[in-house]
Every structure is written in C-alpha cells, then in structure tokens.
C-alpha cells in the first residue's frame, strides 16, 4: 500500500504569492507543464498505457503526431492528459522537448532546461528535503516516492544533463535508470494504477530563479562517468570487422524474434525489456527498424547491436566490454541460433545458469 501523503499542494507564484490547498487534476497538469516547458521550444511527448491483469503496462503506439503537442500549449496538453486519464490509463510526459514528433532519442531531444531525480524509496525523501538548492517542482509519484525537478539557468546538452541527473540520483538515493535525456515521467494530475494512488503535484515554485547546472551538482560525485572515447585505430578495426560481418545487417525486429523470442513490428517499436535481469514491466526498450540503429532500453540503459543483445540475454557483458574471445564466442553462437552457419563444437560455450550474471561494462547512451 502506498505511503500516506497530504493532499494539499504548496504553490509559490511568479511574484512570490503563496497558495496552499487542493488543486484539480487539470490544474496540476497545467502547473507541471508551466514549470517544466513554458518558454522552451520543441514538442512534448505524451505517452499513455493501460495496466493489464498481470500487472504489466501496455503502452499505446508512440508514433502518432497528435501525441506531441508543442511546448507551451498548456491547454492542449491538459486536454490530452485528461482524455487518457478518463479512459483509465496511466499517463507519462517528457521533461525535455523533442525537435521531431518521434519517441526517444529518435525525436532529437533538445538541450535541457530542467534536471531531475526519481526517488522510489520513501526512506530517501528526507535527503531530498535537506538538499539545497530546493527543487522548483516536486511530484508525489503515488508509490511512496517522488520526482523532483530543478529549472536550469542555461540550457545544457544531453551528455551534461545525464551526468547532472546521475549525480543527483547518486547523492539523493534516486533511480540511476531514470537519468537519460529521453526519459518519460509520470505527469502530475494522473493516476498510478500499479499503486492505486494519484500522481500528485506537491510543490511548485515559480518565483525562485533557475539554477546553473554546476551549482546544482557542486561537490557531487558521478557514479558512472562515460568511458574515454575509442581511439581512431579502434574505430577503424571495428568498422572493418562490421563490414565483413553479415550478422550485423540483420534488422533488429528480426533478431529480437530469433534471439529473444519477442515479436516486434518491422517498423520497430517499444517493448518490455527482454533481458533476464531487468524486471521493470514498462515498455522501455526501443527496437529500431534499421540495423544501423540497433536497440536501446531506456529503463536499464543498455543496448546496441545484435551481439550486445545475445550476450546480455546470456548474462554476459556488452558495448566496449564485449571483445576478444568473448565477442568471438557470442558471434558464433548468434550465427548458430539464427542459422547463418553452425559453429565448430569446440567453440560453443555453455550458457550460464539463469542466476549468474557477468558484470556489464558501462557505456554512454548513444
């Protein structure tokens, strides 16, 4: 059962005027959007899904243009969220805007004017209350935790935004899987059907000036800095190996079917992540239609090529950590599973038991 939360909202207006009381669901959506999106360019993606009997969340298709209202058109956003809410669906929106009406990074995420942290554990809320500078917006997610947002004085690029979010999450006990630039978050004024509780606006401050990103994270450690960029020689070797490999030309929907037994449309789309150590039920894994784009899970922050998928399904590593003998074994196994050619018996590696996991090498989101 979700932890008890007060139902009153504290709002500080642009001139410092104070309001404390109950807000309608539409008013909460409007304030959420005003704080995060007003004055920005681009499109806001609205994502909706219906909770299934097994607890999973089936998402609506995310490719329809009407799901991308322009930033600042608050009336249109409120109406869209209301429609999904009244249909009994859970509603999510993007804190950052996109240049194109496409989901995820394919929409070309614009520079960030807001940073955030997603706190799942009620025990971590005290650290958020003590943190300075205070957030400009706090949303109780319905499950006992909260989403906190800080407006930024200057727009920052995606890599810097993700580093900022990681530092906040690490320091405040937040979810490190919710730090990517293309993240969707529950919108205030919607309902969390998993917890059977409202997702509610708790605090909104429109008077406090935006904060510079370096000030926000001063003294905070980054728990997962990106590895150094590959050398020119590494890039040349990788390209030569890929050019001679017919496996990398298989479309991601086809190899998801062959390796993970998951059906994906030929046009690609979002699916629940099939990796055995990812238990989140949200359809957070984007499978792209073209082999050059591959796949990426925005929930567990992993993805890449056909070989990354095969290795991770078997409890192995991925990205730049997948190399040498281990890469050769994964490649042979893929060719065998997909019928490209049978591997020699001595090169076939036994699959790890389901409970064993190899450590995954970190790689920045592409």
Cα–Cα distances in Å, from 170 out to 22, 119, 126, 156, 221?
32, 10, 15, 20, 8
- pLDDT tops 80 at residue 100: yes
pTM exceeds 0.85, yes or no: no
Instruction: Classify residue 240 by burial, with Cβ atoms within 10 Å: 0-12, 13-18, 19+.
Output: exposed
Q: Of the given ranges (99-108, 124-133, 192-201), which has the lowest mean pLDDT? A: 99-108
Q: Of the given ranges (128-142, 241-255, 278-292, 295-309), which has the lowest mean pLDDT? A: 241-255
Per-residue pLDDT at 91: 95
Residue at token pair 């410092």: 16
Q: Of the given ranges (29-38, 182-191, 240-249, 269-278), which has the lowest mean pLDDT? A: 240-249
Cα–Cα dist 144/181, whole Å? 24
Per-residue pLDDT at 256: 92
Q: Tell me the domains of the chain and their CATH numbers.
A: 9-216 (3.30.70.1790), 232-347 (3.90.580.10)
Q: What percent of the chain has pLDDT over 90?
A: 49
Q: In the chain, what is the greatest distance between 2 CA atoms, to the nearest angstrom?
A: 74
Mean pLDDT over residues 341-365, rounded? 42
Cα–Cα dist 69/71, whole Å? 6
Q: Confidence band (pLDDT; 50, 70, 90) for 141?
A: very high
Please state, rounded to an integer, the average pLDDT across all residues of the chain. Answer: 84
In our burial notation (b when 16+ CB lie closer than 10 A, e otherwise), range 118-153 reads bbbeeebbeebeebeeebbbbbbbbbbbbbbbbbbe
pLDDT in tens, 278-312: 766 677 788 998 888 889 887 788 899 999 999 99
- pLDDT tops 50 at residue 358: no
Q: Extract the tokens encoding 283.
A: 């359809």
Cα–Cα dist 303/296, whole Å? 4
More confident residue, 229 or 4: 229
Mean pLDDT over residues 35-55, rounded? 90
Q: Are 199 and 186 in contact (CB under 8 A)?
A: yes
pLDDT in tens, 310-345: 999 988 889 888 888 888 889 888 888 887 754 445
């Amino acid at each position: 059962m979700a932890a008890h939360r007060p139902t009153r909202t504290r709002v500080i207006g642009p001139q410092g005027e104070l309001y404390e009381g109950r807000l309608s669901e539409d008013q909460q959506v409007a304030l959420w959007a005003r704080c995060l999106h007003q004055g920005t360019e681009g499109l806001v993606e609205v994502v909706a899904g219906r909770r299934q009997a097994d607890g999973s969340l089936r998402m609506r298709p995310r490719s329809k243009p009407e799901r991308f209202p322009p930033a600042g058109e608050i009336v249109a956003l409120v109406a869209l969220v209301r429609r999904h809410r009244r249909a009994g669906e859970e509603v999510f929106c993007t804190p950052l805007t996109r240049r194109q009406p496409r989901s995820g990074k394919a929409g070309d995420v614009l520079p960030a004017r807001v940073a955030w942290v997603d706190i799942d554990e009620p025990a971590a809320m005290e650290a958020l209350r003590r943190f300075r500078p205070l957030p400009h917006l706090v949303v109780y997610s319905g499950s006992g935790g909260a989403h906190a947002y800080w407006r930024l004085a200057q727009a920052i690029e995606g890599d810097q935004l993700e580093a900022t979010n990681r530092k906040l999450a690490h320091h405040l006990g937040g979810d490190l899987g919710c730090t990517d630039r293309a993240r969707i978050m529950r919108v205030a004024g919607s309902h969390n059907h998993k917890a059977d509780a409202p997702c509610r606006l708790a605090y909104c401050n429109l008077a406090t000036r935006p904060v510079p990103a370096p000030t926000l994270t001063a003294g905070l450690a980054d728990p997962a800095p990106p590895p150094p960029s590959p050398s020119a020689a590494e890039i040349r070797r990788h390209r030569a190996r890929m050019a001679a490999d017919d496996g990398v030309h298989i479309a991601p929907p086809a190899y998801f079917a062959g390796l993970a037994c998951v059906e994906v449309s030929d046009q690609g789309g979002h699916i629940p992540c099939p990796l055995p150590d990812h238990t989140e039920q949200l359809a957070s894994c984007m499978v792209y239609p073209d082999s050059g784009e591959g796949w990426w899970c925005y929930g567990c922050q992993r993805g890449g090529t056909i070989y990354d998928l095969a290795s991770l399904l078997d409890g192995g590593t991925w990205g730049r950590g997948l190399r040498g003998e281990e890469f050769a074994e994964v490649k042979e196994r893929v060719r065998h599973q997909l019928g490209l050619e049978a591997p020699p018996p001595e090169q076939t590696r036994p699959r790890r038991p389901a409970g064993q996991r190899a450590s995954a090498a970190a790689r920045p989101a592409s």
